[in-house]
Structure 1
Amino acid sequence: MAFVCAISNETPEQPVVSTISGCIYERRLIEKYIAENGTDPMNGEALTSDSLVEIKSSPLVKARPPSATSIPAILKTLQDEWDATMLHSFTLRQQLLTVRQELSHALYQHDAACRVIARLTKEVTAAREALATLKPQAGISALPAVGAAQPVYAAEAGMTRAEEPMEEAGMSEEIIQKLQDKATLLTAERKKRGKNIPEGLATVEDIRQYRQLASHVGLHSASMPGILALDICQRDTSRIVTGGNDKNAVVFNKDTEQVIAIMQGHTKKLTSVIYHPTEEIVLSGSLDNTIRVWGVQQTAPCAHVIRAHEGPVTGLSLHATGDYLLSCSTDANWAFSDVRQGRVLTKVSDPAAQNPLMCAQFHPDGLIFGTGTEDAVVKIWDLKERTNVANFSGHAGPITSITFSENGYYLATSADDAVVKLWDLRKLKNFKTITLDEGYEVKSLCFDHSGTYLAVAGTDVRVYLCKQWQELKVFNDHTASATGVRFGQNASFLASASMDRSLKVFGMP
C-alpha cells in the first residue's frame, strides 16, 4: 500500500482510501488531482470522488496544528512526548514496587501459617501416640484385623520397658501348613505361566526410550533431606510409599501428584518401607529398633508397633500370604512376625557368626529367604526349620541389597564393592558378575515382576536385560545417590528415590 504525503500549513484532512488502487490519500490533495486528471495517481485508471472511502481514525490521534510544522515546534512536541513517557514509566515502577511489597508480605504470612500447621500436626500426632499407649492400659485389648474399616491403635500393651523386644509366640503347625500351602500354589502358578512373556510388558526399545517424566521433592522435610526407602503398591501402581531421613513414611499418588497419608511416629530415620499388595497397609522399619504397621488413611493410624529387635531394623520383607513379615537387624537376628496381631512368632540368630544383618528378602515361594551380612556373606535360610541351608561368599564389603527373580531361580546381590553378582539357586553358584564403575555405590536392586529386567540404584539408576545381562539405560537425573528403585506394572515405568529428597518417575516420553 502506498502513501501520498504533503507538508501543509493547514490542519490535515481526514484520510481516504481509493477503491481502485487501495491506496490511502489525503482527501484535499486527491480531490484536486481528480479534478485535473480524472484518474488514480497510482495506476492511471479512471477515478471519481464517489469512489473514495473515508477512514475513521482513533479519536486519540490528534492532527497537528499549523504551528507544529516548524522544527522548533516539532522538537518541543518530541520533548513533551518524552516527558510523558518518563512520567508513565515512573508510575509503573511505583506500582511494581507496591506489588512486590504486597507479595513479600503474603509469602511471610503463608510461611507463618505453614509453621503453625506443622506445629499443630506434631502436637496432634503426639496426642494420638499418647492415646495409643493409654488405650491398652484402660483395658482395650481386642484388636480387629489390620486394615479394617475402623482401625484401632495398639502398641506397647504388656511392655514393662519400651526398649524390650516382644516375647516369641512360636510358629504353630497351622502357620507352617499355611506357608506350605501358599508355596505349593505359587509354584504351580509359576509352572503354568512357564516362559511366556506377560502381555503388555515393556520392550527393550521402550526401556531405551525412557525419560524422566516427573520429579517430586516436597514429600519429606527439607531440614532433614533424603529419602532412604521406596516401594510401589502392586494393586495400584500409582501409589508409592517412601521412607525418609525425617523419620516419616509418606504415601503419594504419582498420577494425581497428591500426598495421601503421612505416617509419623518413628523416633529415628526409616530404613525400609513396604506397601501391602492387597490391602491399604504400610509397614516401616527404623533405626529406633521398631517396626510399625500403618493404615493408609488421611489420619494414618498406627495399628501395631512390633519390637522384635534390640538394634536398628535394617531390612523388611513381606511374605507372599500378606500375613507375615521378615525383619533383620544389626543385633544379628532375623525375626518372623504376625502382621495382623503385631507379635513376633520367632527370632533366630546364626550361632556360627554373630554379624549384623544388613538386608533380608523372601524367596517368591516364601519357604526360604536370604539375608546379607556385614562381613560380605549372603545366607539362605529355611523358614520352617529356621536353619541356615546355604552361604554365598564373593563380595568384598557389607551386603547392601538382595533380590530374588520372580522365576525363583536367580538371586541378585550387591555390596560396597561396586559389583552386582547373580547367583543360580539350583546350582548354588555365582554365574554372572556385573562390574560397575570404580567407586560405584549400589544401594538397591529390583527385578521387575516378570523377571525380564533388573534395576540397579546407587550412584545413578541403571536397567539391565536379564539372561543377556545387557545394560539398556542409565539415568543420571538424581543429584545425589539413589537409595531405592522399583518397577511399575509390566515395567511400564520406573520409580526411584534419592538422598537429594526427590522421587523421580521414568517412562515413555
Structure 2
Amino acid sequence: MLCALSGEVPEEPVVSRKTGTVFEKRLILKYIQENGKEPGTDEELDPEDLLDVKTSRVVRPRPPNFTSLPSLLKAFQDEWDALVLEAYNTREQLARTREELATALYQHDAAVRVIARLTKERDEARDALSKVTVAPSAGASNGDAMAVDNEALPEALVEHVNELHQQLTQRRREKRPAPENWVTSDEVASFKQASYADLVVSQASSLDVEQEYAAIGGLDGKLDIYSIQNNTVERTLDIEEPVTATLWTGSKVVVGTSKGSVRVWDSGNEVQKFQIHAGAVTGLAVHPGGRILASVGVDQSFVFYDLETLQRVSRGYADSVLTSCAFHPDGHLFAAGAQNGIINIFQTADGAKVTTFSLGSPVQALVFSENGYWFAATGKGQQAVSIFDLRKEGAAAQVKELQTGDADSLAWDKTGQYLATIGSTGATVQMYVKKSKQWSEPLRTSVAGTAVRWGTNAKSLVTVNREGVVSVLKSE
C-alpha cells in the first residue's frame, strides 16, 4: 500500500470511508485542514471519515539503485575516494600550519634579539652619559675627552647655604642641652609595639615622618598618609609609578620612583614632576634649611632642586651607581653612598668632592649625627652598622662597629643620642653616652621592617615592613 499523496509506504496509514483511498495520516490531516476535501475529488472530507489501518510496522526498502552489486561497489568506491581526499586536505593544512608556526617562532626570536640588543645599547648609553664626558673642541691638541665639572648652585642658594652653615655651627658649639620632654633611655628601653595597621600600600618600600603623620610609599605605585595618633590611613595618593624613596618636608611630600621621576605633592595635589634621572631614583634628602631637595639615582648622578621655585638648580656625578644620600646637619656637606661601597662627600655649594670613605659593600643606608662629625652607614649583606668620623681619614675614620644584625634603614634622633636600625631580623636602638664615651643597646625587638623613623620628641618609633604593615613602638 502506497500513500496517494506521497507515493511512499505510509508509516501511519489511514483509509478514506468515501473512496477507500490510502493516505499517510499526517499528510491527509494537513491537507484536510487546508482544503477541507479529499484529494482528487470535490467531496468534503472530515478527519472522522478516516479509518486507521492496523498493520505491522513497515521497513522502507532501499532504493533500487542500491540493490545490485555494481551499485554497492560504486558506493564503496565513492566513500573511499571521499576519505582519501579528506586525508589529503588534512595533511596539506597541517603542513601549512607548521610553516606558519615556524615563521611566527622565527619572528618572535628575532624580536627578542632586537629587544636584547636595544636594551644593551640603552644601558651602554646610560653608562656613557653617567660618566659625563664631552668631545674636545676642534682646536684641541689631543683627542682626549674633557671631563665636565659638577654644577654649582645659583649664587642666591650659595649664600643661603653659607649663612645657614655659620648659624648652625655656632649653635652646635654652644653645647645645647636636650630639649624638654625628650625621650629618656629608660623610656626607650620600655618601647613595645603599641599599635599597628594594614596599609593600602601592599609593597612598602620607604617611609618618612612629619610630626604625627607618616608617608609610606610602595612599589605598587601608592602613597599612604598615616595618622600615628589615630592609627588610621587618612589618605592614599595614586603615584602611578613604583615608589622607591619618600621624603616629607613641611607641607610637601616628595617621592622618587623607579622610572626616574621626582614628584612633589602639596596638600594632596601634585605641584611638580621632575624627570631628570635616567633610571630609578634611589634616595632623597632635604637640606637643613628646608629649601634645597636632593635626589640620587642609578645613573650615578645627584640632583639639587629649589623647593620654593620648584626648579632644578644643579647636578653632579659620582663614579658608581648611587644608592642613598644625606645632608650634613649644618648643610654645607652632602653625602652619597654608592654601589661600589664608597661614601662620597661633596660640598653642597659647588658639588666638588671633598673626601671619600670605604664601607666595603654596596651602601644600603646612611645618616648623619647631630653632633656634626659622625655619620652611620650600613651595607648590603653586612650584619653591623659602621660609625665614621668626618675628622679622620682612611681606616681610622671607622671609629665604631655596632652589631645590630642586617639593617635596611637607619634613623638618628635630633640629639644624636639614639640610633635606630631596622632589618629582617628586627629593630634596635643604639645609645651613645657622651660623658662616658660608651655605646649601649637599650632596645632590641623582633619587629622587622624595611624603614624606621623617630616620632615626635623621639617618644616613639614608626616602622613599616614590606608587606605594608606599619607599627608604632613606644613606652607604656
Cα gap change, 1:257/1:408 in structure 2, threshold over 3 Å: closer, same or farther?
same
Q: Distance in 1 between matches of 2:222 and 2:252?
A: 15
Q: Distance in 2 between matches of 1:369 and 1:172?
A: 16
Q: Distance in 2 between matches of 1:259 and 1:485?
A: 17
Which of 357, 368, 388 is the equivalent residue of 2:333?
A: 368
What CA RMSD, in Å, does the superposition of the two structures yield over aligned residues?
2.0
Q: What's the counterpart of residue 273 of structure 1?
A: 246
Q: What's the counterpart of residue 372 of structure 2?
A: 408
Which of 202, 205, 222 is the equivalent residue of 2:183?
A: 202
2:223 and 2:239 in contact (8 A); partners too: no
Equivalence map 1:50-69=2 (5 Å): none
2:152 and 2:349 in contact (8 A); partners too: no
1:449 and 1:489 in contact (8 A); partners too: no
1:13-62 superposed Cα distances (whole Å, 9 cap, x missing partner): xxxxxxxxxxxxxxxxxxxxxxxxxxxxxxxxxxxxxxxxxxxxxxxxxx
Runs of 4 or more above 3 Å deviation = none
Q: Distance in 1 between matches of 2:422 and 2:455?
A: 15
Give percent identity, aligned residues only.
25
The Cα of 1:184 is off from its aligned counterpart by: 1.5
The Cα of 1:169 is off from its aligned counterpart by: 9.4
Q: Which amino acid aligns with 1:177?
A: E
Q: Which amino acid aligns with 2:431?
A: L
Q: What's the counterpart of residue 419 of structure 2?
A: 454
Q: What's the counterpart of residue 242 of structure 1?
A: 216
Q: Distance in 1 between matches of 2:371 and 2:168?
A: 10
Greater C-alpha radius of gyration: 2
1:169 and 1:344 in contact (8 A); partners too: no
Q: What's the counterpart of residue 147 of structure 2?
A: none
Query: What TM-score comes out, normalization by structure 2 length?
Result: 0.64
Which of 380, 384, 397 is the equivalent residue of 1:419?
A: 384
Query: What TM-score comes out, normalization by structure 1 length?
Result: 0.60
Q: Distance in 1 between matches of 2:373 and 2:160?
A: 23
Residue 253 of structure 1 pairs with residue 219 of structure 2: no
Q: Which amino acid aligns with 2:366?
A: I
Q: Which amino acid aligns with 1:464?
A: Q
Task: For structure 2, list consecutive stretches of 5 or more residues without a partner in the other structure.
Answer: 1-128, 131-149
Which of 309, 328, 332 is the equivalent residue of 2:296?
A: 328
Which of 192, 208, 215 is the equivalent residue of 1:231?
A: 208
Q: Distance in 1 between matches of 2:370 and 2:255?
A: 23
Q: Distance in 1 between matches of 2:287 and 2:402?
A: 29
The Cα of 1:340 is off from its aligned counterpart by: 2.7
Q: Which amino acid aligns with 1:433?
A: E
1:46-98 superposed Cα distances (whole Å, 9 cap, x missing partner): xxxxxxxxxxxxxxxxxxxxxxxxxxxxxxxxxxxxxxxxxxxxxxxxxxxxx
Equivalence map 1:80-91=2 (5 Å): none
Q: Distance in 2 between matches of 1:476 and 1:375?
A: 30
1:266 and 1:288 in contact (8 A); partners too: no
Which of 252, 266, 278 is the equivalent residue of 1:295?
A: 266
Q: Distance in 2 between matches of 1:363 and 1:284?
A: 21
Q: Distance in 2 between matches of 1:497 and 1:328?
A: 22
Q: What's the counterpart of residue 468 of structure 2?
A: 501
Residue 341 of structure 1 pairs with residue 309 of structure 2: yes
Q: What's the counterpart of residue 357 of structure 1?
A: 322
Cα gap change, 1:262/1:256 in structure 2, threshold over 3 Å: closer, same or farther?
same
1:280-332 superposed Cα distances (whole Å, 9 cap, x missing partner): 11111111100010013xxx210000122111000000112212111100000
Residue 476 of structure 1 pairs with residue 458 of structure 2: no
Q: What's the counterpart of residue 399 of structure 2?
A: 431
The Cα of 1:195 is off from its aligned counterpart by: 4.9
Q: What's the counterpart of residue 452 of structure 2?
A: 485
Task: For structure 1, list consecutive stretches of 5 or more residues without a partner in the other structure.
Answer: 1-163
Q: What's the counterpart of residue 63 of structure 1?
A: none
Number of residue pairs aligned between Structure 1 and Structure 2: 320
Q: Distance in 2 between matches of 1:293 and 1:364?
A: 23
The Cα of 1:215 is off from its aligned counterpart by: 0.5
Q: Which amino acid aligns with 1:184?
A: Q
The Cα of 1:341 is off from its aligned counterpart by: 2.8
